Structure 1
C-alpha cells in the first residue's frame, strides 16, 4: 500500500497572478485588433477579383488590407497561445495552494488540468469545475466569484460557435467571411474579448482569496521565498 503523499507547500502567487492577468489583457487587446480588422474588411468590401481563395487550389495576390489581417491574425494566435501557457502555470499554482490550505486531494486529478480543455463534452464543464473546486478548497466559507461564471459563459459562447479560440479556419477563409457576413465574427470577437476581461477579474479574485486564507506564518514564509513580492 502506497504511503499518502504530502500536500504541496504553499506557493507564491503575486508574480504568477500578475503575469496571468497581463497575458489575458494582451490576448484581449489582440482580439480587439482582430475585430477592428474584421470591421475594416467589411467596410472595404470584397474586391472585384473575388475572395483570396479562388478555389481548386488557386489564390490571388493579397491586397495591403488582407496582408495586414494575416499579420494581425498571426500575432493574435501567438498572444492566445502565450496566454494559455501562463494561465495553466497560474492554475497549477493555485491548485497546489488549495490542496495545501485544505489538506485534501483536489476533486479533479491532475490530468484534467490539461485534458479537461480538449475532451469533447467534458470540456463544457470540467475547466470551470477545476477552478470552482480550487476556490471552495481554499475558502469553503466564501462564495464563488461572479467573474468565474461570466468568464466561463463567455468562453463557451466563443468556442461553441466554432469560430472562437479553438476555430480552425484559415485566415483567407475568415477574410472571405468578413467580406460577406461580418456580424457572426464580431459577435465571437466580443465574446472572446469579454472572456479575457472576466478571466482577468477571476484570476485576481481566486488568488486574492487564497492569500487571505493563508495562515499569517505561512504567508510570511511565502513572501520570504519570493523576494520582491508582497501580499496585496
Structure 2
C-alpha cells in the first residue's frame, strides 16, 4: 500500500527526463574521452617534432602541426561535453535531493549550495560529492546498503581527477600534447579512469532514480 499522501507525491519534482539527459551526457563525455585518447595515441606514434614541444617556454609557442591542431579541436569538444554533463548531473541531483526530502520527511544533511561547492572546494571535494549521493540514497532507501557502483564511480573519479588529464585536468592543451609525446601511458591511464567513471556514473544515476521510484511505489 502506498504510504505517501497524494499531496506529497504530487509535490515531487519530475526526474525521468533529467535522469535521461544525465545518462546521455555522461555517455557523450565518455565517448569524447575515448576520442581524446585516440588522438593522444596518434600524437605519441607521430613523435615530437624536431622543433620541440608546442610551448617553447618563456611565453614562446611554435606553430602547431596539423595533428596538434586537430587535438585542440577534439579536446575542446570534449570539454564542451563535460560542461553539459556537469550541468545535467547537478540538475538531476538537485531534483533527487528535493524528492528525497519530500519522501523521507527529513532535510538533507548538507545545505543545497554544497551540491555545487562540494565539487570545487579543495580537500572537501575528495569526499563531499559522494556523501551527498549517499545521503540522498539513504533517504530514499532507508536501511538499504549503498549501491557498490557509487563507490566504484567515486574511486574512478578521484583517479581521473588526480592524474591531471581527466575531467578535472589542469594545465593547457599544449602541456597535454607534450605529455602525450613524453609519457602517453599516464594520459591513457587517466583517460581510461575517466571513461570508466562516466560509465559508472550512468549506473549511479539509474540506481538513485530507481530507488526514488520504489519509494514512491511503497
TM norm. shorter chain > 0.5: yes
Shift of residue 36 of structure 1? Answer: 0.6
When normalised by structure 2's length, the TM-score is 0.93
Distance 1:55 1:112 in 2: 39
Structure 2 partner of 1:221: none
Of the three residues 94, 97, 100, the one matched with 1:98 is 100
1:65-120 residue CA offsets vs partner (Å, 9 max, x unmatched): 11110000100111001100010000001001100110001111111111111111
Q: Conserved in 2, the CA contact under 8 Å of 1:54 and 1:60?
A: yes
Structure 1 partner of 2:149: 147
Shift of residue 59 of structure 1? Answer: 1.6
1:140-167 residue CA offsets vs partner (Å, 9 max, x unmatched): 1322111111100001111123332222
Distance 1:95 1:146 in 2: 20
Q: Conserved in 2, the CA contact under 8 Å of 1:8 and 1:100?
A: no
Deviating 4+ runs (over 3 angstroms): none
Of the three residues 31, 41, 44, the one matched with 2:43 is 41
Shift of residue 56 of structure 1? Answer: 2.0
Unpaired segments ≥5 residues, structure 2: 1-7
Q: Conserved in 2, the CA contact under 8 Å of 1:8 and 1:96?
A: no
1:156-197 residue CA offsets vs partner (Å, 9 max, x unmatched): 111123332222211111111101111111111011101100
Of the three residues 16, 28, 31, the one matched with 2:30 is 28
Of the three residues 71, 77, 80, the one matched with 2:79 is 77
Q: Conserved in 1, the CA contact under 8 Å of 2:164 and 2:190?
A: no
RMSD: 1.6
Structure 1 partner of 2:15: 13
More helix by share: 2
* 3-state SS, counterpart of residue 119 of structure 2: coil
Distance 2:56 2:10 in 1: 57
1:174-232 residue CA offsets vs partner (Å, 9 max, x unmatched): 1111011111111110111011000001101100110111047xxxxxxxxxxxxxxxx
Distance 1:101 1:72 in 2: 43
1:56 aligns with 2:45: no
When normalised by structure 1's length, the TM-score is 0.87
Distance 2:129 2:10 in 1: 21
* 3-state SS, counterpart of residue 42 of structure 2: helix
Unpaired segments ≥5 residues, structure 1: 1-5, 217-232
Moved more, 78-87 or 48-57: 48-57
* 3-state SS, counterpart of residue 26 of structure 2: helix
Shift of residue 7 of structure 1? Answer: 11
Q: Conserved in 2, the CA contact under 8 Å of 1:53 and 1:173?
A: yes
Report how many residues are paired: 211
